[in-house]
Amino acid sequence: MPRPVADGKIGSMTAFDVRPVTEDERRSTFDLLGRSLHSNRVSDELWSRFGVSWPAAHKFGAFDGDTPIGIASSFDTDITVPGGGVLPAAAVDGVGVRADRTRRGVLTELMRVQLADVAARGLPLAVLHASEPTIYGRFGYGSAALGKTIRVARPAARLHDRVPLAGEVRMLTPDEAVKEIPGLYHRIARRPGMIGRPPLWWPVMHDRLAGPDGDHVVAVHSGPDGDDGFVVYETVSRRSLEAPDEGAVLQVRDLHADSPVARAGLWRFLLSVDLVSAVHARHRPVDEPLSAMLTDHRHAATLAVEDDLWLRPVDVAAALAARTYRAADPVVLAVTDRLLPANTGHYEVGPDGARRTGAAADLTLDVDTLGMLYLGEWSATALVQAGRVQAGDPAAVARADELFTTIAAPWCGTHF
């Protein structure tokens, strides 16, 4: 454990200490986070039920005296990487600084302490979703998996005749949704970029919405081998005095399927619900072939493609060694890491794996750009063109393209 205290005297304005959050400070740091994200205040009643999802473990606070002014929280999980390996990871799930103390280095100090802690505990990766894409690159995070927002027009959208039709969809009761979905997710979530959802994830992110007090709908697809996919969605009314007959919008919150057949079954179900004018889904996999599944692909409009998962290699050697690479001659990467300088060095990456090397570099990049390359979302060519990777020899860039490419686009698919 690093010494988690820093005197953050930035200019002459603010002094603060960064240290682990204690049990007694769980509520005040949670309220601070909520305020910084403009969330509604959590009542005592809600806190008594869901505060369990905000444990003191792995939380660092910035304090002015006893008063929290900043928070950086994470939970331990794992993540699937290309080739199917599963690596321990810190999922950064709550970051905020009080509005009257921003831009004085509070987050910078919190990130420094949090990353040192993650490294000291031996987790090779850290991941997060960013409220704003400009925040985390400076701390070594790269935009590693994208997600698309789609709107499917109802009732116009129809599935093509050749879309697989097999299996059954059944709606769950709220009690069943709480009981059955965690195990099902655990069984089927295997795409690179997907994270494990630990027990503390479920009460707030699923049970609150889909359980007895929630209003989300849950449906499960079953194939020949049992349950193999599920969808959680919310129904939002669009009726008004001006549009009394307007259908509702189904907003998909969570949709996971173990196979194309299960995915088709779930979308077939969503597109069959009556009195609906559109189905919306945010942060879907960029390669989900929904428009190709429709008779008229314009009925599935992609409204946005955004950063979904940000990834920070914390132990570059371990992270590079954990994924697989396609067949091509090796390349040598020269990686620079300002915050965790032990990572700075040369790494040979080839179909036989990855290791540190003293050989000359083919490609030079910062650790945040390695985060972009790691899951296969961005090609080396694109990153060279964007000026984020320097390379002398175009043949080395082509080899890096081949080595890092993945067939399925990486995708996280978990809110945290």
Ligand X SMILES: CC(C)(COP(=O)(O)OP(=O)(O)OC[C@H]1O[C@@H](n2cnc3c(N)ncnc32)[C@H](O)[C@@H]1OP(=O)(O)O)[C@@H](O)C(=O)NCCC(=O)NCCS
Rg of the chain over Cα atoms, rounded to whole angstroms, equals: 23
CA–CA gap between residue 178 and residue 152 (Å, rounded): 28
Exposed / middle / buried, residue 241 (Cβ in 10 Å: 0-12, 13-18, 19+) = exposed
Question: Taking the complex as a whole, how short is the minimal distance between the CB of residue 53 and ligand X, in angstroms?
Answer: 17
Q: Please indicate if the annotation marks 95 as binding a ligand.
A: yes
Q: Rank residues 43 and 134 by Cβ distance to ligand X and give the closer one.
A: 134
Q: Please indicate if the annotation marks 23 as binding a ligand.
A: no
Strand order of the β-sheet with 217-223 is 17-20, 59-64, 67-80, 86-97, 125-128, 300-313, 142-153, 276-284, 248-257, 226-236, 217-223, 168-171
Question: Taking the complex as a whole, how short is the minimal distance between the CB of residue 335 and ligand X, in angstroms?
Answer: 21
Q: Rank residues 39 and 173 by Cβ distance to ligand X and give the closer one.
A: 39
Q: Rank residues 36 and 74 by Cβ distance to ligand X and give the closer one.
A: 36
Q: Please indicate if the annotation marks 176 as binding a ligand.
A: no
Q: Which residues pair with 126 in a beta bridge?
A: 90, 312
**Which amino acids are annotated catalytic?**
136, 416
Contact call for residues 285 and 411 (beta carbons, < 8 A):
yes
Question: Taking the complex as a whole, how short is the minimal distance between the CB of residue 373 and ligand X, in angstroms?
Answer: 22
Number of Cβ atoms within 10 Å of the Cβ of 153? 16
Q: Please indicate if the annotation marks 370 as binding a ligand.
A: no
Structure tokens at 136: 């985390």
Q: Rank residues 131 and 272 by Cβ distance to ligand X and give the closer one.
A: 131
Torsion angles phi and psi, residue 127, rounded to 5: -135, 155
Q: Rank residues 106 and 328 by Cβ distance to ligand X and give the closer one.
A: 106
Collapsing DSSP to helix, strand or coil, 227 comes out as strand
Question: Taking the complex as a whole, how short is the minimal distance between the CB of residue 143 and ligand X, in angstroms?
Answer: 13
Question: Taking the complex as a whole, how short is the minimal distance between the CB of residue 329 and ligand X, in angstroms?
Answer: 39
Q: How many CA atoms lie within 13 A of 249 on its CB side?
A: 12
Collapsing DSSP to helix, strand or coil, 68 comes out as strand
CA–CA gap between residue 94 and residue 62 (Å, rounded): 13
Contact call for residues 56 and 23 (beta carbons, < 8 A):
yes
Q: Please indicate if the annotation marks 86 as binding a ligand.
A: no
Q: Please indicate if the annotation marks 146 as binding a ligand.
A: no
Q: Please indicate if the annotation marks 103 as binding a ligand.
A: yes
Nearest to 143 by CA among 283, 48, 252: 283
The residue ranges that bind ligand X (CB under 6 A) are 36-37, 95-97, 102-108, 130-132, 134-135, 138
Q: Please indicate if the annotation marks 106 as binding a ligand.
A: yes
Q: Rank residues 9 and 138 by Cβ distance to ligand X and give the closer one.
A: 138
- Measured CA to CA in angstroms, residue 342 lies from 124, 162, 314, 319, 348 at distances of 13, 53, 10, 14, 16
Question: Taking the complex as a whole, how short is the minimal distance between the CB of residue 141 and ligand X, in angstroms?
Answer: 10
Torsion angles phi and psi, residue 30, rounded to 5: -65, -45
Annotated binding site for acetyl-CoA: 95-97, 103-108, 131-132
